Amino acid sequence: MFDKNKNQEGGEMVEERNQEDTEKRTISESSNQIGIGELMGKRAKLEEAIDYVGLMIKNLKDKRTLLEKDVEEEAVDIKNLKEKLQKVSEYIDEENRGIEELANKRKQVESEADEVGSIINNLREKLSGVDRVIDEEGSKVRKIKESRETLNE
C-alpha cells in the first residue's frame, strides 16, 4: 500500500515536471516568436561589452597612474639636476671671479716687478757711475803714485 502511494505520488511528480517543461518550452517558443530571446542575447552581449569596456577603462587608469608616477619621478630628477647645475654655475662664477682677482694681482705684481726692474736699472747706472768715478780716482791715484815714484827715483 505504501509502495502504491509512492508510485502514485512519484507518477504525479513526473507528470508535474513534464507539464512544467512543456510550459517552459511553450513560453520559450512564444518568447522566441516575439524576439525576447534575441533581446536577452543582445543584453548579455551588451553586458559583456560593458564589462570589457570597464576593464579597458581600469587598464587605462592603471597606465595613467603609472605614467603620472613616472612623470613625477622625472620631474624630481630634473629638479635635482637643475639644482646641481645651478651649483655648478655658481662654482664656475666663483672660479671666474677668483681668476679675475688673480689676473688683477698678477698685473699688480708685474707692475711692481717693472718698478723693481727700473729701480735696479737706475741703481746699476748709479753703480756704473760710482764705478767710473772710482776707476777715474784710482787712475789718478796711480798716476800720482807713478809720478812720485818717478820723482823719487
List the domain boundaries for the chain: 35-152
Residue 4 pLDDT: 45
Residue that has been written with the C-alpha cell 595613467 in this structure: 64
- Tell me the pLDDT tens digit for each residue of 120-147: 999 999 999 998 999 998 898 888 888 8
Residue 41 pLDDT: 87
Tell me the pLDDT of the chain averaged across its residues: 84
- Tell me the pLDDT tens digit for each residue of 44-88: 999 999 999 999 999 999 999 999 999 999 999 999 999 999 999
**Which residues, 6 or more positions from 32, have their beta carbon under 8 angstroms from its beta carbon?**
38
Residue that has been written with the C-alpha cell 570589457 in this structure: 52
Cα angle 148, 151, 152 (rounded to 5 degrees) comes to 85
Residue that has been written with the C-alpha cell 613616472 in this structure: 70
pLDDT at 39 over 70: yes
8 Å CB contact between 73 and 81:
no
What 3-state class would DSSP assign to 35? coil
Helix (H) and strand (E) counts for the chain?
2, 0
pTM for this entry? 0.45
Percent of the chain with pLDDT over 90: 59
Query: How does DSSP classify residue 153?
Result: -
* Helix axes 2-34 and 36-152, enclosed angle (nearest 10): 70
Residue that has been written with the C-alpha cell 630628477 in this structure: 77
